Structure 1
Amino acid sequence: MISMFLVGTLALLAVLTRAGVAVLERRYPAQGQAINVEGATINLVDIGPRDSEKPPLLLLHGASSNLEAMRRPLGDLLARRHRVLLVDRPGHGWSPRLRPEDSTPAAQARMLDEALARLGVGQVVLVVHSWSGALGLRMALDFPDRVAGLVMLAPVAYPWRGGVGRYNEAVTAPVVGPLLAHTITLPLGLALMAPGARGVFAPQAMPDDFVDRTATPLLLRPREFIANARDLVTLKQAVIEQAPRYGEIKVPVTIVAGEADRTVYTDIHARPLAQVVPHSRLIVLPELGHMVQNAVPELVAGEVDRIVAAVATADAVAP
């Protein structure tokens, strides 16, 4: 009797999840253009003026989010002076990925490089947040001709003590993971999403409309939730493998981090990174939390302008 009740409950939750996904996708429809690459389709939004004398900016969001998390206020602010490319990372938002193994920075760097080539874009300045710190570093290592500079916001760069949460680990397990993702993740996530986001913003206050404005509930769709969990579960080993190469990066790098960040600790990531990357500049603000692009967008925009100017100067004096 209990087993029949459990099966019936899970079936009902699965039906409700399918209906909920349909509602979410109507509320937050895809924007931009779809670019097919090996293993994924990249959703890209292209805003701002076209200026062939300056490299475009490629903005990359972190975990548990999509391109809208980088669009306002930072992307819109930068688009006043620069061409800005915003993408949903493979597996997130409206960029479905086909293979579970493509969760690593190396795999996603390859996909983004291919997408830029298909778009006809040459060098870019990367503006990366959190999880995508590892991705931006990997792009600079594997595709040095693609990356002209890096602006890193609370970046992940090194392994850390502990894991990434038991629920994320459970969702990546065979059988159990898809069962969780297709039944309880959406209703549970809707209840916990706003409190969780407020914790990531701390000590800054989260804007009241942040969750809705950034289409964050799209994360609760089963395929995206599994992809996000796999990104997190495989990240530590990925940075262990790539960290010894950081000294090879030759482009200018600016790192902006907060002393009060309790999501990606500055002492574990930003400070050690600044010590090994040759042309790096580190800015640590005492009261700043994890959401750098929301808390100090003007400061970030100024650092982006500085990197773009440095790239232009280097190009002008190059033989």
Structure 2
Amino acid sequence: MSLAEPLRLAVGLLATAIGLVALLLLCAAVATRLIAWRVEARYPAADRSVEIEGGRIAYLEDGPETGARGTVVLLHGASANAYDPMEGVGRQLAQSGFRVIAFDRPGYGNSDRISGADAASPAFQGRALGQALDRLGTGPAILLGHSWSGALALRMALDRPEQVASLVLVAPVAMPLPSHPLPWWARIALTPPVTWLLTQTIAVPVGLSYLPSVARSVFKPEAPVENYLAASRAPLILRPGPALANIRDLSGLPAALAEQAPRYETIAVPTVIVAGEADPVVQTRLQTDPLSRAMPHARRVVLPGAGHMLTYTAPDTLVREVEALTAAIAR
């Protein structure tokens, strides 16, 4: 047998393998489009929007049209959208007399992913949402940032203090994260072309299978609230655009935190930090405790036995803290 025969065999096997992978990715891409179509049909995103430089920011609004006690702006965490904090604590704030605005962060829900080299950073997203607040004419507002958006709310207070009356940081990610070397496969997956390909193909079908268990896990050790997935419209993350935005926002956060955390001591607005003692997602000892030391003027509230989803499990506490801040500002 000549040397050409094994070579032809190897080339044939390689071509077959490439063809099978391509077929798998094609099937996954079709499944992704079908899932996204069904999600958008079943869970309509926020339908109000405001034009800013570079695109459109979607939002929800509730509360009195006139005579409001103040304006509260809700900023959602990773993998979420405006409905998540609005259905958790926003409606209750509106019933208490506040004007409540919940934004879809850029790239989530119905908001455009405003293009820019640093689009994943709290600084960039803070500028975008700051423009939206200007367009809406809110004046200084209470920013309530949950989880990832703890960093966003803090950044807005640093960069646009004239728009911020006070801060309510709920289970916030704010302090620099420990650095751990990523395995080789994760480094490959996080390169922009590969990340884009994954979100167009396998990420959404895989996410669909894991979404219910992930939703349960973020509530631990508490029980998840009934009908959380439908109320929060969490399945809206199961679309290529939001999935890609989420991955990039999460992977870019450590560098952003390292840059902005040393400036927290300069924030002068009234601030309360509310955390769950048993939060398994954003551990209090690694985030809330050092943040409290960096902002000694901030009020620290740690709820015994509570987990991460305080907007759903402790809305009464959050409303009381907003009311207390409003009273303090008025004095």
Instruction: Give TM-score scaled by structure 2 length.
Output: 0.90
Report if the CA contact (8 A) 2:60-2:83 is conserved: no
2:89 to 74, 86, 104: 74
Aligned position for 2:6: none
Cα distance change of structure 1 residues 293 and 96 upon mapping to structure 2, 3 Å threshold: same
**Residue 102 of structure 2 corresponds to residue 86 of structure 1:** yes
Aligned position for 2:112: 96
- Count of aligned pairs between the two proteins: 313
Q: Distance in 1 between matches of 2:306 and 2:320?
A: 17
Deviation at 1:50, TM superposition (A): 3.1
* Structure 1: runs of 5 or more not aligned: 314-319
Deviation at 1:275, TM superposition (A): 2.1
Q: Distance in 1 between matches of 2:329 and 2:66?
A: 14
Aligned position for 1:33: 48
Aligned position for 2:273: 255
Deviation at 1:169, TM superposition (A): 6.0
Within 5 A, what are the aligned runs for 1:1-319?
A: 1-51=16-66, 54-80=69-95, 81-99=97-115, 101-162=118-179, 172-313=190-331
Deviates more, 1:48-57 or 1:289-298: 48-57
Deviates more, 1:110-119 or 1:47-56: 47-56
1:107-152: CA deviation from partner (whole Å, max 9, x where unpaired):
0110111001111221100111000000000011111110000111
Report if the CA contact (8 A) 1:259-1:284 is conserved: yes
The one-letter code of the counterpart of 1:248 is T
When the two chains are superposed, the root-mean-square deviation of aligned CA atoms in Å is: 1.9
Q: Distance in 1 between matches of 2:83 and 2:226?
A: 15
Q: Distance in 2 between matches of 1:49 and 1:42?
A: 22
* SS of equivalent to 2:20: helix
Report if the CA contact (8 A) 2:45-2:236 is conserved: no
Cα distance change of structure 1 residues 106 and 163 upon mapping to structure 2, 3 Å threshold: farther
Q: Distance in 1 between matches of 2:186 and 2:219?
A: 20
Cα distance change of structure 1 residues 275 and 211 upon mapping to structure 2, 3 Å threshold: same
Deviation at 1:197, TM superposition (A): 1.6
Deviates more, 1:98-107 or 1:177-186: 98-107
* SS of equivalent to 1:122: coil
Report if the CA contact (8 A) 1:172-1:226 is conserved: no
Q: Distance in 2 between matches of 1:57 and 1:125?
A: 5
Q: Distance in 2 between matches of 1:226 and 1:259?
A: 31
Deviation at 1:286, TM superposition (A): 2.2
Q: Distance in 1 between matches of 2:181 and 2:65?
A: 40
Instruction: Give TM-score scaled by structure 1 length.
Output: 0.93
Deviation at 1:177, TM superposition (A): 1.3
Deviation at 1:22, TM superposition (A): 1.3
